[in-house]
Amino acid sequence: MKEVVPQEIPLEKVDIWFQDETRVGQQGSQTRIWARKGTRPRIAKQQQFLSQYIFGAVCPSQKACAGLVFPTVNYHNLEKHLQEIACHIPEGRHAVVLMDRAGWHVKNQLVIPNNMSILYLPARSPELNPQENVWQYIKDQWLANRTFDDAQDILNACCQAWKLFATSKDLIVSLTTRKWAQLS
C-alpha cells in the first residue's frame, strides 16, 4: 500500500475504494424466484443486444460510493469515473482505488486525479473485489428478471438501481467491508 501512496500523506488519511464496472442490458440476468411447488413460473428473457455499463466504486470506511452509467467501457469513461470518485473523497484525505487489470484500466495515458492512487488487484481474481458483491446485489434486487424497451430504459433502470444502493450506507458497509483491506 505504501508504495502507491505519496510519501507526504500519512496512512491514517488514506481510504480504500474498490472500483469495477458491469454490463446491464436486454440479455440480462435471471434469478431464482419463489413459486408454489409443482408450478413453473415464467421469467422474461430478451434476445436483443442493447446494453449500458455501470461504473461503480465504494469506500466502506467512509460509507461512500460513486457511480456513473455509460454506453461503452473504455479508458475515457474510466477517467470520468475516476473524476467522479475524486469528488466523493473528503477534503484532506487520499484514496487508494483498487481495480482489476482490464485493458482500459492500465492504459499509459490514463489521467488520475491528485487525491487518489491506483492499486491493481492480482490478475484473474474478481473474488478480491467487493464491488462484485455490489453488482450481484443490485442485479438480484432491481435489474434481474425484467425487460427493457430501449437504451434509455436501461439507463434509467441502472441509475435508479444505483441510487437505491447509494442511499443505504449500512448496505455499502455490509457488502464491501473486508478485514484484509483495513488500514487501522
pLDDT number for residue 49 = 67
Distance CA 161, CA 150 (A): 17
- Going from the N-terminus, what domains does the chain have, and what CATH number goes with each? 12-25+48-177 (3.30.420.10)
Q: Who wins on pLDDT, 163 or 31?
A: 163
pLDDT number for residue 94 = 97
Question: CB neighbours (10 Å) of residue 65?
Answer: 25
pLDDT number for residue 103 = 84
pLDDT of 62 above 60: yes
Distance CA 10, CA 136 (A): 34
pLDDT number for residue 145 = 80
Nearest residue to 144 via CA among 159, 156, 158? 158
Question: Which pTM does this prediction carry?
Answer: 0.87
Mean pLDDT of 3-29: 88
pLDDT of 45 above 70: no
pLDDT of 46 above 60: no
pLDDT number for residue 2 = 74
Instruction: Say which range, 1-5, 63-67, 126-130, has the weakest mean pLDDT.
Output: 1-5
